[in-house]
Structure formats: structure tokens, C-alpha cells
Amino acid sequence: MKKVVCLAIRRSRRLLVATIAPFAAAFAQSTAPQREIAVTFDDLPVASHALENDIRAQAVVTERLLNALSLFHVPAIGFVNAGRFAPRGPLEPARIAVLQQWIDAGQAVGNHSYSHLDFHGASSADWRSMAIAWRQ
């Protein structure tokens, strides 16, 4: 019985390949417009409460992510929350080093606010304060 099932699977695979191969070749030569997507990551350096205070783990996670993007030639944009670099007041160089990994890998970075204010609950004064903090 086992041998019969294996033969049926092999035949099914060959049939599938024989059926798809002509379409795959035609698709590869197609002049259809190329489609693009944007790959983005929010809340850099790392969007994880579990790793919030473990800078070494943040660096490891970031390295693995950037290696995967590089392996598959995927350009990405990392959006930065500036407040994550100074959770206790002054800027922390170790946290900035994690962001530097993105820059060194040739990936783009963008502004994703200072502190992730809630659009619905923040006053205009809150927004001004955040903008000033971001510039510093």
C-alpha cells in the first residue's frame, strides 16, 4: 500500500510540474508591469516591550532582521521613535548604536514621532512639545 501511495504522489508531482511549466515560462517572459511594495518597520530601534531594557538583545534582533533583508535584497524603511533613545532622560549611546545598524546596512530611516502620542487625546501643546523634543 505504501509503495502505491508513493508512486501516486510522484505521478501527481510530475503532472503538476508538466501543467504549470508552460505557464511559468510564459509568465517569466511576460511584459506585465512590475509591482512594488514598501517594507516598513515602526518604532525603531525595536518595537518590543520584552526587549525594552535589553539593549544587547535589541542589537541581536536588529542584526538578524537586517541580515534577512540583505539576503533577499529587500530595501526597507525603519521609522524611529526618538524617545526610545532617551527613556531615562539623556540619550543613551548603546540605544543609538542599534539604530546605527540600520544606517550602516544602507536601510532608510524616517521620523515616527518622539513619543507616539495618541492622535485623539493629545492637545496642540502636546504636539508642539513632542516636535521640540524630536528636534533635540
Digit-coded pLDDT (tens) for 37-50: 888 888 887 777 78
d(CA 11, CA 8): 5
Cβ neighbours of 108 (radius 10 Å) = 12
Whole-number Cα distances in Å, 43 to 23, 81, 119:
42, 5, 16
In degrees to the nearest 10, what's the CA dihedral of 124, 129, 133, 136? 100
* 3-state SS assignment for residue 19: helix
d(CA 82, CA 69): 23
Please tell me whether the overall predicted TM-score, pTM, comes out greater than 0.85 for this model: no
pLDDT digits (tens, 9 = 90+) for 70-112: 999 899 999 888 777 777 778 889 988 998 999 999 999 887 7
Q: What angle do CA 124, 125, 130 make, to 5 degrees?
A: 95
Q: Could you tell me what percent of the chain has a pLDDT over 70? A: 68
Beta bridge partners of 44: 80
Instruction: Please report, for the chain, the start and end positions of each structural domain, with discontinuous segments joined by +.
Output: 40-135
- Give the pLDDT band of residue 22 (cuts 50, 70, 90): low
Q: Does domain 40-135 have CATH number 3.20.20.370?
A: yes
Say whether pLDDT at 11 is over 60: no
Instruction: Tell me the C-alpha distance between 28 and 22, whole Å.
Output: 10
Task: Assign 52 a pLDDT band (cuts: 50, 70, 90).
Answer: confident
d(CA 124, CA 57): 36
| 1 has a pLDDT exceeding 90 | no
